[in-house]
Amino acid sequence: MQYFEDMPLGMRVESTETYTFTAEEIKAYASKWDPMPFHIDEALAAQTPLGKLFACSTHVISAGVKLAHTIMDKEVAAVAGLGWNDVRFPRPVLVGDTLKVVTEVVDRRESRSKPDRGIVTTQCSLINQEGDLMAEYKIATLVLKRPR
């Protein structure tokens, strides 16, 4: 189990696994959750300035969460997810893009009210095959301290 003490400021982990956005995955996800024409219609997407299908935001974030699972060697002693901040999409994720995730502990503090836990903020960066930053977000998590 990974406790608050095991997550120092600056700890950085990079996934070895990746996720590729195929046309089938982009269309299947967006058809159900975010049915905008440029996410589901390849002929129409070909006429936009991007010239290709691109993935909807929630598909990109879901892929980030999926990849984050592949880099946890131990389960985090998480009590609750406190929320996400600064979710940004600097570039559209196009069909064929292959993403990895890089996570970094950017803030951590002890809980003011409960001495057995702390709050860890992790910056997650989704990077494509060219090394470009495609999406990023911060996740704050309430994590137990190591039991004494």
- State in angstroms the smallest separation of the CB of 29 from a second copy: 8
How many Å apart are CA 87 and CA 99, to the nearest integer? 16
Closest CA to 56 of 73, 83, 75, 36: 36
* Packing angle of the helix pair 57-70, 23-33 (nearest 10 deg): 120
Burial class of residue 76 (count of CB atoms within 10 Å of its CB; 0-12, 13-18, 19+): middle
Q: Return the amino acid letter for 71.
A: I
Closer to a second copy by Cβ: residue 8 or 31: 31
Structure tokens at 67: 């990849």
Q: Taking contact as CB under 8 A, which single stretch among the options 3-11, 33-41, 99-107, 118-126 is the one that binds a second copy?
A: 33-41
Structure tokens at 140: 């704050």
Site string (34-73) toward a second copy, x via CB under 8 A = xx--------------------xxx--xxx-xx--x----
In the window 100-129, what residues touch a second copy (CB under 8 A)? Answer: none
Phi and psi at residue 63, in whole multiples of 5°? -65, -35
Closer to a second copy by Cβ: residue 20 or 58: 58
- State in angstroms the smallest separation of the CB of 69 from a second copy: 6
- State in angstroms the smallest separation of the CB of 81 from a second copy: 6
**Footprint on this chain of a second copy (rule: CB under 8 A):** 32-35, 56-58, 61-63, 65-66, 69, 81-89, 137
